[in-house]
Chains A and B, each alone.
Chain A
Amino acid sequence: MIERTVAPVFKQVENINIIKARQVTLDNGIQLFVVNAGDQELVRVELIFHNVNWNIRKPLQAFAVNSMLTEGTSTLNAYQIAERVDYYGAFLQSDYNSDASMVTLYTLSKHLDNVLPVVKDIITDSIFPDEELETFKRNQKQKLLVSLEKNDYVGRRVFNKTLFGDTLYGYSTEADDYDKLGRDELVEYFHLAYRPENCTIIVSGKADGEIVNTLNRSFGRNWDKGLNTSLNTFSFPAKGGVLQYIEKPDALQSAIRAGKISVNRSHPDFPALQVLNTVLGGYFGSRLMANIREDKGYTYGIGSALVSLQNSGYFVIASEVGAEVCSSTMTEIEKEINLLRTELIPEEELNLVKNYMLGSFLGSLENAFSHADKFKNIWFSGLDYDYYDRYIKEVREITSEKLLGLAKFYLDFSSFNKVIVGKK
């Protein structure tokens, strides 16, 4: 008979090997980073451009340019761009976040030569045709109308505004921002931001020397420097404690957001705060989940996160809960925060969280793309690979006493901004 009541022996994760990116300077000075790994004959090519010259009077400029890169160049129309990429079984996507504008190509290596010219074309020669711009505006306004009916979306947007005001991080897009959007401001921004000196390229997958040469031929030549730009820099008042309630009389559930401005990855406390965040709401067994979902059944899910941005960072708790238990949930959240500030995390719980985080970190290194993602996290925070050694060391060695001190310093519930969309 086997003993089913006793857990098998286990080991804490020991060896964590990150495949480091190799740095190559292209002919025109662009920094290319290469993560060469994996058995599949494919690559991902990411072109990353910092967002620049934030202007509150032109809030959609950067987003609209990024979204419309595939809508036409002086030699290819939108259909031809899409058709060429689709024909070779490749995927071309543009993504925009509050710090960067990205163009990402996924392709089988054998088709790279066929699709790179399209990528080069859209980042150097997009023309933003009026007719396509009108379509973009119309469709985006419809999407916005639907999103504004979602409590979770509204909660996020109002919360970001309470933290970051009218900067790019906090701006709430309205339908008439689309109405005001003109082709000229797109052309202007395209020439400012999509320039080699503002571009970082990361290639991952089976990326051998031949692929690096191909990328140099495409992006390292015939692409000129542009005008001087200024990187977006924002600073934010540390004031907090705002409560915003947006009532939706028919809501079955209320969306909750609570949190405050915090530190980003470049701050020495960041790894330790990630441990604290995991205990509170960063995994399925977290205190918030255990209490509010698994004990009380108030919600399908509740979690917390520490988000790192270029100019800031924030801590946030988010959930959608039954409208009738919204206030009880807020009370329980406050209780959990205060518990972290007044009592030591028991040894057994902390050990579990440490092991979980190390396993989860190991699991996040699944393939070449994930190794490249690890590189992006440090590069754009101005850090090097030592960061991960520090992170792993911190997770292994941190004590309950240190976490108690951090909770006292960083997590004061009365200073949190709170947003409720639905019913209280």
Chain B
Amino acid sequence: MVTFNRVTLSNGLKVLIHEDHTTPMAVVNILYNVGARDEDPDKTGFAHLFEHLMFGGSVNIPSYDEPLQRVGGENNAFTSNDITNYYITLPASNLETAFWLESDRMLSLAFSEKSLEVQRNVVSEEFKQRYLNQPYGDVWLRFRPLVYKEHPYKWATIGKDLSHIENASIDDVRSFFKKHYNPSNAIMVVGGDVNPEEVQKLAEKWFGSVPPGDKPVRNLPQEPEQVEARRETIKADVPLNALYIAFHMPGRNTQAYYETELISDILSRGNSSRLYFNLVKEQKLFSDVNAYVTSSIDPGLFVVEGKPLEGVSTEEAERSVWNELERLKTELIPVDELTKVKNKIESTMVFAEMSLLDKAMNLAFFELMGNAADLNNETERYLKISAEEIQSRAASVFRKENSSTLIYLANK
């Protein structure tokens, strides 16, 4: 159970406060409701590049990192297709420094040309390090446009292409900030060894005077229902063939999402899961194979990926995956197996409560989806799922016409 208080400032900033006095630390987590899905199709990768620029100094404070480190704090951030999330961990006695820094960059950035130029380079190197200079690193750059035709999930957070990052201008940075980095578009969670009244005072003091701005309106093209199977084969200098199959599935905030995620656990969580046991250990078709969901807020993907063993054709490997998917559609999952995946969910939720930062991030994310209190109903949403619901969910997701298959062949 993660408890919290909620305060909304007059400029629209939501502040959630979670007390945890088992630690001497505090966290400040700020989620901005903007991600790669909000980008212009000609300027992809921008939300993430912008995240880097948030560390390039703000209107009154030339360096963001230095004063934070000076008080014993650390910070980082990440960008996804849905959100941009910034977080600070610091000794609770120095909490005010975090308010000072975060409120100033919500007020305005320094918009330094030097910072833009350097971060364009840094992000280009990140693009190379993670996506281009790694075996299989470009899979999702290639796969997303096959799977999504309309929705902006068709590009990765790093961007479609290096050139989009190289062309980013300081005007783009200014207008992105003005549009998305408003108090009304942010959720702040303060947690740890803190006093709620004091946090509320600090929030009013530092953030109360940040102008509200206009809450951006999101109007994204939705992905039309897929009506025929898609397939692509690419060749690359990799040592082994690989297989990727993706299915459209319901969005994060639906009960159907929980059913689909439980299916991925049945297939792929732990060494007794179906894909690992049947396809790696028994049939010896793959060296590794996994199923997972992308957990995006708009309708996301159920993905199966694996590397067939040397000498196993990709056709045979693909057939064996489909056999497992078909079995979920035709046979009810045994009671013990369903209990097993639910027990794993239950214990994962308890273990997750050991990390203050995870709790803060989760509160912010659930608040974004509607209500932070729903974080405490997560386990319940999994536990109430029946074997019949698993079966009918499998039948609605695992259809050929709902699938996209990418065959990644090794140049030999």
Residues of A within 8 A of B (CB): 2, 4-5, 7-8, 10-13, 15, 37-42, 70, 78-79, 81-83, 85-91, 106-108, 111, 132, 135, 138-139, 142-143, 145-146, 148-151, 250-253, 283-285, 293-300, 320-322, 351-353, 355-356, 358-360, 362-363, 365-369
Contacts and interface: CB of A to CB of B under 8 A. Distances in A.
Contacts of B67: 7
Nearest to B23: A366
A41 B90 contact: no
Nearest to B343: A89
Contact of A90 (B129, B136, B347): B347
Interface in B36-71: 59-61, 65-67, 69-71
Nearest to A145: B239
A257 to B, nearest CB: 15
Contacts of B348: 89
Per DSSP, are chain A's interface residues mostly helix, strand or loop, or mixed?
mixed
B99 to A, nearest CB: 8
B74 A40 contact: no
B277 A79 contact: yes
Interface in B96-132: 96-97, 99-100, 103-104, 107, 117-126, 128-130, 132
14 contacts: A8-B96, A78-B271, A86-B269, A88-B343, A91-B347, A145-B240, A146-B307, A149-B239, A150-B134, A283-B74, A294-B122, A359-B71, A359-B72, A367-B354
A5 B346 contact: no
Interface stretch (B177-185, B215-223, B281-289, B325-333): B281-289
Most chain A beta-carbon contacts within 10 A, residue among B94, B99, B117: B94
B350 A149 contact: no
A12 B93 CA distance: 9
Nearest to B344: A89
Contacts of A8: 94, 96-97, 99-100
A132 B273 CA distance: 17
A40 B353 contact: yes
Nearest to B273: A86
Interface string B179-198: 00000000000000000000
Given A42-B351, A79-B281, A146-B135, A321 B74 contact: no
A365 B89 CA distance: 12
Given A10-B97, A82-B270, 18 more contacts: A2-B209, A4-B59, A11-B91, A42-B347, A79-B272, A86-B272, A86-B273, A106-B351, A108-B347, A146-B307, A252-B132, A294-B118, A351-B70, A352-B70, A353-B69, A355-B70, A356-B74, A358-B72
B25 A363 contact: yes
B280 A139 contact: yes
B97 A82 contact: no
A53 B67 CA distance: 50
B67 to A, nearest CB: 5
Interface in B289-310: 307, 309-310
Contacts of A146: 135-136, 238-240, 307
A296 B97 contact: no
A11 B71 CA distance: 7
A142 B309 contact: yes
Contacts of B149: none
A322 B128 contact: yes
Interface in B377-402: none
B133 A251 contact: yes
B119 A359 contact: no
Contacts of B128: 252-253, 322
Nearest to A88: B343
Contact of A40 (B24, B119, B340, B354): B354
B225 interface: no
Nearest to B410: A145
A87 B122 contact: no
Contacts of B135: 146, 149-150
B72 A362 contact: yes
A13 B129 contact: no
A295 B118 contact: yes
B16 to A, nearest CB: 20
B319 interface: no
Nearest to B353: A40
Contacts of B72: 12-13, 355-356, 358-360, 362-363
Contacts of B71: 10, 355, 359
